[in-house]
Each structure stands twice: as structure tokens, then as C-alpha cells.
Amino acid sequence: MQLTNTPTPLIIWSILKIFFIIGLSVYFVFAIVIVRQIDIMQHTIKLNFELPLKILGLIHLLFALILLLFSILAL
């Protein structure tokens, strides 16, 4: 007996791609929140390493954006 309603690998792969892009979108929003939190922290607490921390946050945000754009284009 053969099942006629089995999902094809193409459909499964398409669903997996959509979930992957949604996950990377959530990661990008998380990176935006991190940059915002760093900005709020800089206004609240004055420390000596404010600039390197802000640069690291922006690099992280840029990495998340590049990863999201690459996944949209490649997948």
C-alpha cells in the first residue's frame, strides 16, 4: 500500500528554509536589542570601555544583518 499524501523532500526543505530565515530574523532583532541595551547602559554607567563595547555591539549587529541577508539570498 502506497501513501499518496506523503510530503516530498522539496516541500520539507522549503519549510526548513522558512524556519531558518525566521530564526535568523529573530536573531537580528535580538542584535538590535543588544545595541540598544549597550546604549542605555552607556548613559547610565560611565566606564572606561564604553567605546570598545559599543563597537563590538555594532559589529555583532552587522554580522547578524549580513547573515540574515545571505540566508535570504542563498536559500
CA dihedral sign, ordered 7, 11, 13, 16 = negative
pLDDT digits (tens, 9 = 90+) for 34-64: 999 999 998 888 878 888 999 999 999 999 9
Looking at residue 4, its pLDDT comes to 64
Q: How many helices (H) and strands (E) are present in the chain, helices listed first? A: 2, 0
Rounded Cα gap, residues 27 and 37, in angstroms: 15
Reported pTM: 0.82
Tell me the pLDDT tens digit for each residue of 15-29: 999 999 999 999 999
Break the chain into its structural domains and give their ranges: 25-74
In one-letter notation, the amino acid at residue 7 is P
